[in-house]
Amino acid sequence: YVFTAGNPKWKRNNLTYRILNYTPKMRQADVDKAIRKALSVWSNVTPLTFQKVENEVADIMISFEYRDHRDNSPFDGPNGQLAHAFQPGEGIGGDVHLDEEEAWTKNGEGYNLFIVIAHELGHSLGLSHSNDPGALMYPSYSYTDPNEFLLPQDDIDGIQAIYGQSNA
Amino acid sequence: FPVALEAEDEGKTLQLVESYLQNFYDLERDHQPHLRNKDKNALVAKLKEMQAFFGLEVTGKPDLDTLEIMKKPRCGVPDVRQ
């Protein structure tokens, strides 16, 4: 695992998230479920908690974006770059952007939303890319059945090195 | 004259390699074309850095294994500190 330069981390354990918009390619309930599951990947192994908020600014704002979306990192259409996220911090810090032109799914077709968001949340929490091919924080996409997903040890070691182990 | 297929492929390969290294390995964008040799060294150095990150053979050349990784869908966050 690799920390993001400057070792940014959230100063609170109780974080908030907000889903700003939805992709028409999936049912909203499936998007909500994928995001909740992706957040639990990290909250299960750390003291972090994530509360969903509406109509207010959240620590982690999640949105589907097109091409140039005013953050200096335009998306590139189908395939290629699937999503990106920002390191912990105020404003855009922690936010997750997903390329709306990808074929988002809840299964093995196209790109599995849960897998991609779980990876991006690693960046939102302060992790950078790992060169461990089996790690969730490896840069290239690879599909794992969400029902069988277990956070790999490299990622557990990384996130616990930042926030400690789960209180549970 | 029609461009030979190999030359056209080479152009596409170079474009893929340059944009990948600019996006994810902090290769500077080509603002001084007249310094082509300097840029070539920088590109080779960044290519080696990318090959080392992915555990590939560090050749400094866009070989098939390297291109295969570059064509994979991936996260848009850079692999190296910017």
The 10 Å CB-count burial string (b at 16+, else e) for A66-102 is: eeeeeeebebeeebbbbbbbbbbbeeebbbbbbbbbb
Q: What is the pLDDT of residue B40?
A: 81
Chain B segment 45-74 residues within 8 A of A by beta carbon are 53-55, 69, 72-74
- As a whole number, mean pLDDT of residues A61-88 equals 97
**The pLDDT of residue A11:** 97
Cβ-Cβ pairs closer than 8 A, A with B, add up to 55
Q: Give the pLDDT score at B63.
A: 94
pLDDT of residue B31: 57
Q: Calculate how close chain B gets to A76, using CA atoms only, in Å.
A: 10
Percent of chain A at pLDDT above 90? 99
Query: Residue B82 pLDDT more than 70?
Result: no
The pLDDT-based confidence of A125 (bands split at 50, 70, 90) is very high
Of A29, A12, A35, A5, residue with least CA distance to A121: A35
Q: How far is B23 from chain A, CA to nearest CA, in Å?
A: 9
Tell me what pLDDT residue B30 has.
67
**Given this model, what pLDDT does residue B26 score?**
94
| Per-residue pLDDT at A100 exceeds 90 | yes
Please give the pLDDT value at position A167. 84
Average pLDDT for chain A: 97
pLDDT in tens, B19-50: 999 999 999 886 555 556 667 889 999 999 99
Q: Cβ contact (<8 Å) for A81 and B74?
A: yes
Cβ–Cβ below 8 Å for A129 and B79: yes
Per-residue model confidence (pLDDT) at position B5 = 64
pLDDT for B3: 55
DSSP string across B42-63:
HHHHHHHHHHHHTT----SS--
Return the pLDDT at B71: 97
Can A100 be counted among the known catalytic residues? no
> pLDDT tens across A26-46, in order?
999 999 999 999 999 999 999
pLDDT of residue B32: 59
